[in-house]
Amino acid sequence: MKARTDLVAPAPAAFDLDCETLIIGAGACGLVAALSAKEAGQEVLVIEADALPSGSTALSAGLIPAAGTKVQKAAGITDDPALFARDIQAKAHDENEQALVDLMAGHAGGVIDWLMDRHGLPFSVVTNFDYPGHSQRRMHGLPTRSGAELVNALRAACEAAEIDIICERRATTLFCDASRIKGISVSRPDAGQETIGCQKLILACNGFGGNRDMVQAHMPDIGNGLWFGHDGNQGEAMQWGAELGAALEHLGAYQGHGNVAHPHGILITWAVITQGGIQVNRMGERFWNEAQGYSEAARAVLAQPGGEAFAIFDGRIAEIAAQFEDFKQARSVGAVRSHETLEGLAGDLGLPPQALAATVQAIPQDGTDRFGRRFSGPALQPPFCGVRVTGALFHTQGGLRVNEHAQVLREDGTPFENLFAGGGAACGVSGKGDSGYLSGNGLLSAVVLGRLAGKSSVA
Ligand SMILES: Cc1cc2nc3c(=O)[nH]c(=O)nc-3n(C[C@H](O)[C@H](O)[C@H](O)COP(=O)(O)OP(=O)(O)OC[C@H]3O[C@@H](n4cnc5c(N)ncnc54)[C@H](O)[C@@H]3O)c2cc1C
């Protein structure tokens, strides 16, 4: 990675402002870190580039996987961190560092319980469908199943805890003397600069999905995909890290999604596929085993003629999907088409009717198809539904290597004493490419590493 020389600089003689724990970014990671640090007795300041905290967190469904939580137990779900860790590694082809996987899986349940008990976030478990690769039902979400609700609830908790969040400040330069972080410089909306000194710095400013040059350099196969994350993901955490000699890992890892309504740009939940739906191309033909997952679906869909596909499902599945705000929105703007006959649906979507009918008829009732996908649910029935979709990049999953305290590691494996990272800024547990992403890995890393980074003390 090319390092820019103004990214890291020696500390000035004095700072405009001083604080103890400084957090860059007010998404899920930064806000959880702030709550955690405050609880540990630290004086906290969060700075955020946007006018209001939102980040990729607000764009997400806000679903966080965790094992062994109180709500799981109340719902009669038996789960444990070891099983969760195995699921993460299985999806990522064992490409992750085992210690990091164990850390994430081991702490996630405690973080959900803590957010519920201490901060009143009303999580429940998704119990009416299974996410691919999770052997238990462990996706926890707030009532609307939206990340906007999650980030708003976390921000309200920070406000109740009297944590200062300063918005419209973008961190530009990191000050460092003798490998200890001293503070940062931020740019104001009027283009002026301010300096903030700190004892401890937490990088919660996500990855580099919004930086086209970095995407082309590290993950060219999704370079032509729609960018569906938050534009603030410009990769500063990785650039600062490269300049400081920090270890960067799995920079080619990302979460894609191959089911984004096109041209509406609205996420169509993968539940429409897991519940028995399929994807077809412009010829009305299936082209892959959709059960592999929605992340690798992006590459599969982008490889089809026109870089598009069509999700085909039915009214029963649409009702399950309707628990998600995004799906409701897609329906209300007309992205989801519905017809009593397959011919009607094909005509509406511009697909060859006979080919679509043959494709739907070829779905096994109870068996495995030619792509290796196993079907066991009810056959698709009227009304038939369809959406034109394309492949998108949601967020990057590689980043700074951290230890069990979420401290950033150098290339030689030793930690920077007072530099921490979490969420999209840190290397996650999604392996090296696009097929290692298990549902929820993004927020998993945000909340677990945020919690650990916040409560870690600095000598
Ligand atoms: C459409 C979509 C759906 C998703 N669904 C899910 C899901 O259901 N479950 C799941 O686990 N994951 C999901 N993800 C991924 C998940 O949203 C992210 O992994 C997670 O939100 C990352 O949290 P974060 O706090 O690291 O980053 P963010 O939420 O992006 O927060 C980072 C913040 O840092 C700020 N910032 C960046 N750079 C600077 C800077 N230099 N100075 C100051 N501030 C800065 C940004 O403005 C931003 O507010 C989804 C992502 C997308 C795009």
Low-confidence ranges of the chain (pLDDT < 70): 1-5, 459
Q: What is the model's pLDDT at position 459?
A: 65
Cα(378) to centroid of ligand 1, in Å? 36
Q: Which residue in this structure is represented by tokens 């540990």? A: 40
**Which of 459, 457, 405, 445 lies closest to 43 in space, CA to CA?**
457
Q: What is the model's pLDDT at position 1?
A: 44
263 and 162, same structural domain? no
- H-helix or E-strand containing 72? helix 70-74
Do the domain assignments include residue 367?
Answer: yes
Do the domain assignments include residue 426?
Answer: yes
**Which of 241, 179, 164 lies closest to 205 in space, CA to CA?**
241
The answer, yes or no, to whether any atom of ligand 1 lies below 6 A from the CB of 296, is: no
Query: 374 lies in which domain range?
Result: 254-393
Do the domain assignments include residue 61?
Answer: yes
The answer, yes or no, to whether any atom of ligand 1 lies below 6 A from the CB of 395, is: yes
Ligand 1 closest atom vs CA 141: 8
133 and 68, same structural domain? yes
Q: What is the model's pLDDT at position 377?
A: 82
299 and 360, same structural domain? yes
The answer, yes or no, to whether any atom of ligand 1 lies below 6 A from the CB of 434, is: no
The answer, yes or no, to whether any atom of ligand 1 lies below 6 A from the CB of 55, is: yes
The answer, yes or no, to whether any atom of ligand 1 lies below 6 A from the CB of 47, is: yes
Do the domain assignments include residue 3?
Answer: no
Ligand 1 site-directed mutation target among 23, 112, 154, 205, most atoms within 8 Å of CB? 205
CA nearest ligand 1 atom 9, residue: 440
Residue type, 75: A
437 and 371, same structural domain? no
SS3 169: coil
Do the domain assignments include residue 2?
Answer: no
**Last residue of a domain, which of 370, 393, 416?**
393
235 and 335, same structural domain? no
Number of folded domains that form the chain: 2
Ligand 1 site-directed mutation target among 443, 445, 447, 448, most atoms within 8 Å of CB? 443
**Which of 423, 421, 394 lies closest to 410 in space, CA to CA?**
421
Ligand 1 closest atom vs CA 441: 11
371 and 433, same structural domain? no
105 and 43, same structural domain? yes
Do the domain assignments include residue 212?
Answer: yes
CA nearest ligand 1 atom 17, residue: 57
The answer, yes or no, to whether any atom of ligand 1 lies below 6 A from the CB of 204, is: yes
Residue 287, domain CATH: 3.90.700.10
286 and 156, same structural domain? no
Cα(26) to centroid of ligand 1, in Å? 9
284 and 187, same structural domain? no
Cα–Cα distance for residue pair 160/154, rounded to 1 Å: 10
CA nearest ligand 1 atom 16, residue: 442
Question: DSSP character for 45?
Answer: E
Cα–Cα distance for residue pair 384/13, rounded to 1 Å: 68
CA nearest ligand 1 atom 3, residue: 60
Residue 46, domain CATH: 3.50.50.60
423 and 291, same structural domain? no
Q: What is the model's pLDDT at position 247?
A: 98
Q: What is the model's pLDDT at position 435?
A: 93
Do the domain assignments include residue 30?
Answer: yes
Do the domain assignments include residue 1?
Answer: no
Q: What is the model's pLDDT at position 4?
A: 44
Ligand 1 site-directed mutation target among 60, 126, 195, 214, most atoms within 8 Å of CB? 60
277 and 157, same structural domain? no
34 and 162, same structural domain? yes
Cα–Cα distance for residue pair 172/419, rounded to 1 Å: 16
Ligand 1 closest atom vs CA 394: 53
Residue type, 201: L
The answer, yes or no, to whether any atom of ligand 1 lies below 6 A from the CB of 150, is: no
